[in-house]
Amino acid sequence: MDVWLAGSTVAQLTPPPESIIDGDPAATVVRICCLRREGMSGLEVSVAVDEATAGRFTRACLLETIWKQRVLPAILLVLALTVVGFVIDAVINDSELLGVFLLLAFVLAGVTFGGRFALILLRSRHHPKLLNNSDVLIRDVDPSTARRWADLNPAGAITIRN
């Protein structure tokens, strides 16, 4: 079952006592980031999961943070230097430099797409996803846990969908 959390109430929701994945009562409540297609959002949600899933959630959020704070600026710097190289090449009309800068641009594109694809593959299917800048979607939640979670919170804060 998929669980939709109303964006206005996400911060105040009471998490279920059981794991959202398999209904295991030995779950721990963790506060994790919500992901978007473009990366991490600033919104966090509390969910109950097992230790392995909590580690995977934390790792995904950490890697998204590293991508945003370190890798993306480095890519933009290399891109800026490549553009400067293309401008210099156009001014001095040296075709040898064009090949070097073109190769650098293709390598940069490959690293960027490969890195984003790897980050997307590392995400758990249960990781909360931010939709339309407010609502949060959590996929494949244990049905009994989803119903209990909805009962613990105000009406309309959690919507369960098959």
Q: Give per-residue pLDDT as tens, 4-33.
A: 999 888 888 999 989 999 998 888 899 999
Q: Work out how many domains the chain is built from and give that number.
A: 1
Q: What pLDDT sits at residue 82? A: 85
Q: 137 pLDDT exceeds 90? A: yes
Q: Are residues 154 and 14 in contact, defined by beta-carbon separation less than 8 angstroms? A: no
Q: What pLDDT sits at residue 105? A: 85
Q: Can you tell me the distance from the alpha carbon of 113 to that of 144, in angstroms, rounded to the nearest whole number?
A: 39
Q: What pLDDT sits at residue 136? A: 93
φ, ψ at 94 (rounded to 5°): -110, 110
Averaged pLDDT of the chain: 89
The domain in which residue 9 lies consists of 2-161
Helices (H) and strands (E) in the chain, counts: 4, 6
